[in-house]
Amino acid sequence: MVQRFLEGVRVLDLSQYVPGPYAALILADLGADVVKIEPPGGEPMRRLGGARDSDGISPLYKVMNGGKTVIELDLKNDGGRKHFEALVRCTDAMVESYRPGVLDRLGFGRKHLQSLNPRLVHTALSGWGQTGPYRLKAGHDLNYMSLGGGLIASGVVEAPTIAWPPVADYASGIQAAASTLAALVSRARTGKGAFIDVSLAETALAWQSGGLTNALRRENAPKRAGNLLNGGAACYNIYRTKDEHFISIGNIEEKFWANFCAAVGRQDWIPRQWESFPQKKLIAEVQRLFASGPLAHWETLFAEVDHCFEPIREFADLPDHPQIAARGLLQRTEAPDARIEVLYPAWIDGSPPTPRKDVRFGAVDEIIAAWTRAA
């Protein structure tokens, strides 16, 4: 089962909000024993958003920290630091999202951590990275996407669009988890730990090689609604129906575009698929077509047509969608503290992921004792 891949691997999660906690959530889903260390009173995400469970904690916090054991430690006092040192000595990996320099001020710089545990894989998530003139600059996902290229070619002609969910946050969580796993594989061969510096802005930047290369060569660098994949093409776009729903078509392949055009009786559109971008005239014609009928009409018409079509669903519609239901990735918690969590998004050896345990609030002495025995 997917949860057994990292069985026996111990992970400390000292991060907050989304990027680091999501990285640690991935590791927990893969079977690691994850202990989340929070300051006295807990991390701010416990109180994020308006909704609260019956225990006063935000459900957003719970879905980001399922499968982990949470303890509170004050790293600014001697007792908290001693407990933390004991945990570091017997852990395999640590994920943290402090600003650069904070761990040094707390007495846990690289040299001290290495002296405690030379095999430690230490992954540091920060907005801009551990070096450079922006290293201490404040920021959030929108800012990291701004510098990392994630907004240059997104949105409509008039303005960029803020993406949901926060792209750099989640992408950097995946980047941190993948880097941590790679370092653990390397450590199995060499016996040496690693220090991994993951930047949220650079995670977004890592996806921009195509645009950067085109700009360098002065060749059609992506611009808003100006190319095939960002709203400049009629065959790959979002349209509004007569009853104010939205649908997407993604007919990049010529055969799919031809099948679509034939289904709506507009074979004259087939040779126009690769007109110069942005295809304002053709897009407007396709929009008039979809505006002529309600969503149900288009779903019925395209039910047996082999082309890339899908309505844009509302969140409330997703759990009962036959494809999502068939894959078994949604885990429901019933009222009064109802929530839906998406489990690890992979089937392993023909089986869906097994249920994720609730976040558990534990005691530091209990964790130290268990980890010391296992080390």
**CB contact at 8 A, 252 and 245:** no
In terms of Cα–Cα distance, which of 19, 15, 17 is closest to 93? 15
Give me the torsion for CA of 223, 226, 232, 238, rounded to 10°.
Answer: 30
- 320 catalytic per annotation: no
SS3 299: helix
The DSSP bridge partners found for residue 13 are 36, 95
Q: Which residue has the tokens 């400390």?
A: 12
What is the rounded CA–CA span in Å between residue 347 and residue 350?
Answer: 6
Task: State the catalytic residue, choosing from 112, 140, 337, 358.
Answer: 140
Structure tokens at 150: 């994630």
- 197 catalytic per annotation: no
Task: State the catalytic residue, choosing from 29, 33, 92, 169.
Answer: 169
What is the rounded CA–CA span in Å between residue 25 and residue 360?
Answer: 13
Backbone angles phi, psi at 257, to 5 degrees: -60, -40
Q: Kindly list the distances between the CA atom of residue 164 and the CA atoms of 145, 153, 170, 232, in Å, as whole numbers in the listed order.
A: 12, 16, 10, 21
Residues 6+ apart with CB under 8 A from 131: 100, 197
What secondary structure letter does DSSP report for 238? E
The DSSP bridge partners found for residue 70 are 36, 361
For the annotated catalytic residues, the residue numbers are 140, 169
